Amino acid sequence: MTKVLVIEDEELLRDNLMEILEDEGFQVIDADNGHRGIELAIAEKPDLILCDVMMPGLDGYSVLNILSQDPTMAAIPFIFLTAKATKDDFRQGMELGADDYLTKPFTKPELLKGIASRLGKKTAEQQRYKTLQEFYNIELQHAKEQLNYLSRYDHLTNLPNRLALRELFRQVKSTDIGKKQLITILCLSLDRFNQVKENLGYEFGDLLLKAVAQRIKACISLPDKVVHLDADQFAIILATTQHKKEALTIAQIILDNLSQTFNLSGEEVFITASIGIALYPRDGRLIERLLKNANLAMVQAKRQGGNQYQFYSVAFHIGFSDRLALQTSLRYALEREELEVHYQPIVTLKTGRIVGTEALVRWRHPEKGMILPSKLTAVAEETGLIVPIGEWLFQKACQQVQVWHNSGFESLRLAVNLSGRQFNQMELRQKLVQIIGTIGFNPGYLELELNESILMQNVEVAIRRLNGLKALGIQIAIDDFGTGYSSLGYLQQFPCDILRIDQSFIHNIADKTNQAAITKAIIEMAKNLNLRVIAKGVESPSQLSFIYRHQCDEMQGYLFKRPVQAPEFEELLKSRKRLPLPSTAEWRL
């Protein structure tokens, strides 16, 4: 296989180049700076080098200059990638011995043509050298294969290691199954492994890792792959799943299996794991990116207490320093009164009137402007600040809606989101009782929204907590319903009153027939279970017509109103605005 070395500091371009070349059957190695590029060129002896000219530190010219001192390196075709191809640059490169230039941005055919012509030209020169080498190569090959095996397998667990990951991913991708099905990358790390090792010794740690590897392997089937990344970290490539839900089932099976007692050398030990999940190609096209993202999700799962899985989300990507800065300023946001509550109406499809409101947090950052909840809650959840913020929002929203109750809108319901950390607080119920008690808010008008994934983390505990809240008269809504976490069977076990259909379904009703069918099925199922159904994110009359036709109970969405601040919401209430409902004639057509 022809080996190409890509030296390019721009991550996106490097990823793209690698993907194109890998798809064309090249073996690709990459470096993000000149020094690393030289190291790799010497160690791996590629058949061709693609090298960026402008790089911080050692630039492309210096790389070529250094490599050309070594006669074996000088024989490797060298192509420069450059954004500015002036005559001077061109000359300077050629004098140093570059074989060609590709001016960015270049197309895939241009790239492949450039590579093909350079490989062809050098072949004749290299032929003589190659014949001499062939003699030695046979024996060398044998030694290489052995080295390859040893360097690509972990001797402790007998699993492929990090070096083998890219090749395994390529294999999965190229199988028929991989082409049709979903490829899921799990990054698994044991919780408290260092503690176990410190208490029971390093040898015991090794025994445990071996046993863990066996248990993980037992949970998957070919052609899925398990890789021992390092220490207590494993990667799993799932090629046999068709839906996100199946991948989750496997992740849960792995977690359940690992949390069973290990009996090793007369010691009994309990250990749990955290799993981060990334999906190909949604969360990345290259295995390196996918693993990085799965790893970010795994860290998040650990931060939330471990023994759970977590999907990768773009919100985890807020840069580290950005994140730190946000965390620091979020600490003061409450004191500086930078947080706001916005209210979005919930409308009944019986009359088109407002029956409730969802309270949504907003952060008016002094420099960054308005920060929406997706970013805010990710940072707040991580630091634990979500707890005081959630409490503040709950109190503020209850006070506000109580004012509206007192001014004649006495049956307006209030919906508040609860995060995982809030829901898992031991004293949640007590705190809620205290707040609503002080305000005099009737809990019968309160709905708490919980994400499916929060409930699925520990079903038994969740049921117990929900029952505790329901005993107060509070209603429970399952938010983002349909995003694929829970099986419908579980739903029956949860003491809930309301299903909020995720907006991704509503948005695709018109052009994706299966989304429409799922939405219809969710509504029907909810009716059978005696649950109220709310369609979220309704933006167009055709979406409204669909949910109306299928007898959804309520809607929320920009079609009626975006979330607004309290005074504007009050105006809306007073105006008695109604959502124009589709006429029967219209939807029967």
Residue ranges that bind ligand C2E, judged by CB under 6 A: 344, 360-361, 372-374, 377, 390, 393, 417-419, 449, 479, 503, 536-539, 556-558, 563
- CA–CA distance, 144 with 3 (Å, rounded to integer): 15
Query: Which of ligand C2E, Mg ion, none is residue 306 near (CB under 5 to 8 Å by kind)?
Result: none
Whether the Cβ atoms of residue 59 and residue 95 lie closer than 8 Å to each other: no
Helix axes 428-439, 386-406, angle to 10 degrees: 30
- Cβ nearer to ligand C2E, comparing 139 with 337: 337
- Cβ nearer to Mg ion, comparing 224 with 391: 391
Query: Which of ligand C2E, Mg ion, none is residue 557 near (CB under 5 to 8 Å by kind)?
Result: ligand C2E
Chain-centroid distance of CA 401 in Å reads 36
Minimum distance from residue 293 beta carbon to ligand C2E (Å): 21
Minimum distance from residue 538 beta carbon to ligand C2E (Å): 6
Minimum distance from residue 5 beta carbon to ligand C2E (Å): 44
Whether the Cβ atoms of residue 354 and residue 573 lie closer than 8 Å to each other: yes
Name residue 334's beta-bridge partners. Answer: none
Q: Does 283 bind Mg ion (CB under 5 A)?
A: no
- CA–CA distance, 485 with 506 (Å, rounded to integer): 18
Query: Which of Mg ion, ligand C2E, none is residue 443 near (CB under 5 to 8 Å by kind)?
Result: none
Give CA separation, 422 vs 266, 277, 389, 471, 589, in Å: 40, 23, 10, 18, 47
Task: Give residues 390-429 in contact with Mg ion (rule: CB under 5 A).
Answer: 417
- Cβ nearer to ligand C2E, comparing 241 with 344: 344
Residue with token string 């050298």: 129
Give CA separation, 550 vs 114, 354, 512, 553, in Å: 58, 20, 16, 9
- CA–CA distance, 298 with 187 (Å, rounded to integer): 6
Task: Give residues 423-482 in contact with Mg ion (rule: CB under 5 A).
Answer: 449, 479
Structure tokens at 136: 């030695």
Query: Which of Mg ion, ligand C2E, none is residue 372 near (CB under 5 to 8 Å by kind)?
Result: ligand C2E
Minimum distance from residue 559 beta carbon to Mg ion (Å): 17
Name residue 393's beta-bridge partners. Answer: none
Minimum distance from residue 140 beta carbon to ligand C2E (Å): 59
- CA–CA distance, 116 with 285 (Å, rounded to integer): 24
Query: Which of Mg ion, ligand C2E, none is residue 208 near (CB under 5 to 8 Å by kind)?
Result: none
- Cβ nearer to Mg ion, comparing 377 with 417: 417
Name residue 264's beta-bridge partners. Answer: 267
Exposure on the CB side of residue 128, measured as CA atoms within 13 A: 3
- Cβ nearer to ligand C2E, comparing 115 with 301: 301
Query: Which of Mg ion, ligand C2E, none is residue 539 near (CB under 5 to 8 Å by kind)?
Result: ligand C2E
- Cβ nearer to ligand C2E, comparing 213 with 397: 397
- Cβ nearer to ligand C2E, comparing 18 with 341: 341
Whether the Cβ atoms of residue 458 and residue 495 lie closer than 8 Å to each other: no
Q: What is the DSSP letter of 534?
A: E
Minimum distance from residue 449 beta carbon to ligand C2E (Å): 6
Query: Which of ligand C2E, Mg ion, none is residue 345 near (CB under 5 to 8 Å by kind)?
Result: none
Closest CA to 349 of 114, 40, 555: 555
- CA–CA distance, 476 with 498 (Å, rounded to integer): 6
Query: Which of Mg ion, ligand C2E, none is residue 419 near (CB under 5 to 8 Å by kind)?
Result: ligand C2E
CB atoms closer than 10 angstroms to residue 192 = 15
- Cβ nearer to ligand C2E, comparing 6 with 450: 450
Q: Residue 525 carries which side chain, given as an amino acid letter?
A: M
- Cβ nearer to Mg ion, comparing 229 with 501: 501
Query: Which of ligand C2E, Mg ion, none is residue 377 near (CB under 5 to 8 Å by kind)?
Result: ligand C2E
| Contacts to Mg ion by CB under 5 A | 417, 449, 479
